[in-house]
Structure 1
Amino acid sequence: MVDQQKAVWDKLWSHKVSYRWDSLSQIIYDTIHKWVNPIQNLSILEAGSGTGKISLRLASEGAQVTLVDYSEKALENSREAFGQESCQGTFILSDIRKIQAPNDKYDLTWNAGVLEHFTFNEKVDILNEMARITKPGGIILILTPYSKCLPYRVGKAFAEKQGVWMYGVEDPVTTLADEFEESGIPLLSETDIGFVNSLDFLDFIPQSDIIKQSIIQWYQELSDEEKNLFPGYLLVSVGKKEG
């Protein structure tokens, strides 16, 4: 399955990649800042970096960033983007289940939209590796599509039935508590973010834009307490390495 998934990403990253900063990038960036701040001079590794867009932003703020991916094309895109912005980064071609990086090196290891493509045991392997390379007292931050987010689930299901889902095998996550426990990482927090971003998945459904815009307008008028009733697109699971 891993080889098939790698082929999916190689194909995806072979197309033109956008580095436009968007609202989803912003909420992920804000989540990182919530857990590690200030960013300057921190050592940060993104395990399964894809475009590397957010790591590029962190590098521009003075973080020492390392991007790890098993897609050479993904890393090639990232190197080019970093070069265009005159930012420094380290790029490692590696399977994140066996990361080619030393122990206890990083203040933060993180990824977004990665673990949902792996089995339970593979998730544990990845978390073990992320913990290994994180400094004692450092943060392990994981963002995955949330199983309780209705717009995401509806759009994804429609796209899969129509044969237009381009992200391969993707199992939405309810919690990573068991995986963190199996990895020996204390789980500090698990929350969700990005309800409005989840509505983008309705774009897979023809003529859904009027419904999407109506939901956005309705949601924005809710109180913060009411907004919390509706699960967001991403589950945010945060652990801390002991020591």
Structure 2
Amino acid sequence: MIPYKKLLNIICEELDIKKGEKILEAGSGTGNLALEIKKRGADVTALDNIKIALEMHKQKDNEASVFLWDLTNNLPFSNNYFDKICSNNTIYTISKKKRDNLIKEFYRVLKPGGKIVLSNIHKKFSPKKIYLDHIKYSIRYYGFLKTLKDIFLMLVPSLKMFFYNFKIKKEDKKGEYDFLEKYEQKELFKKAGFINISENKKVYSNQAILNSAYKK
């Protein structure tokens, strides 16, 4: 999807990637962001708790450094290990009670002066707006027929996404999970000790918020 590809590019730009840097992607899924980072010359370590997603990542890049890991546990890395850290649309899937510890773990494994970039969909997230943006850009650049074909190809993954987001909203009633509040990422950074925390940046067809920060 075009809005998704734009989001990956924005995250890479925010990371300001330098050749040879060690970068952690937490919640890497099938590796789309990790591959973009690697293209820019960094060494990427990808963590995810879904085995099949990591297998798909390895199919795309058989030399990828991937780890099956639950982000609610402490990270399996030594202090001050990574130059930079990024995570896209992952923190909101972590239980509210576990988010503080995860961000503190990011702080622990990041080198002094290192940068972190987080992007997550917000509480008023509307998948429909992302799809409408995709259709608008796709028709403009690729024409109606290819756009129609893409829509059919997206049906199954779209249904999965709607189901997952419905589940998150349902669990929110119990106080366990929810989409992030407007300033939640900034507060998580602040509590963990990060500095130079950026203002909110709307991304992903204005359905997600991106923030960056640095370790002292």
Same fold (TM over 0.5): yes
Q: Let me know the Cα RMSD of the aligned residues.
A: 2.5
**Any idea what the Cα deviations from partners look like across 1:79-99, whole Å, max 9, x if unmatched?**
11112xxxx321111112322
Return the offset for 1:141. 1.1
> Would you say the 8 A contact 2:46–2:65 is kept in 1?
yes
| Cα distance change of structure 1 residues 179 and 61 upon mapping to structure 2, 3 Å threshold | closer
- Which structure's relative contact order is higher, taking Cα pairs within 8 Å and 6+ residues apart? 2
4+ aligned runs moved over 6 Å, structure 1? none
Which residue number corresponds to residue 213 of structure 2?
239
Query: Aligned partners of 2:104 and 2:59: how far apart in 1?
Result: 30
> Would you say the 8 A contact 1:127–1:180 is kept in 2?
yes
Return the offset for 1:78. 0.8
Which residue number corresponds to residue 116 of structure 1?
92
The answer to whether the aligner puts 1:181 opposite 2:190 as a matched pair is: yes
| Cα distance change of structure 1 residues 69 and 60 upon mapping to structure 2, 3 Å threshold | same
Q: Give 5+ residue unaligned stretches, structure 2.
A: 131-158, 170-177
Query: Aligned partners of 1:142 and 1:74: how far apart in 2?
Result: 20
Task: Give the 5 Å matches for 1:64-83.
Answer: 64-83=43-62
Q: Which amino acid aligns with 1:136?
A: P
Query: Aligned partners of 1:32 and 1:51: how far apart in 2?
Result: 17
Identity across matched positions, percent: 21
- TM-score where L is the length of structure 2: 0.71
Q: Secondary structure at the match of 1:165?
A: helix
- TM-score where L is the length of structure 1: 0.64
Query: Aligned partners of 2:161 and 2:16: how far apart in 1?
Result: 37
Match of residue 193, structure 1, among 186, 203, 208 = 203
Return the offset for 1:142. 0.8
Q: Give 5+ residue unaligned stretches, structure 1.
A: 1-20, 156-161, 196-231
| Cα distance change of structure 1 residues 187 and 235 upon mapping to structure 2, 3 Å threshold | farther
Query: Aligned partners of 2:101 and 2:26: how far apart in 1?
Result: 12
Aligned length: 174
> Would you say the 8 A contact 2:4–2:204 is kept in 1?
yes
Return the offset for 1:135. 0.9
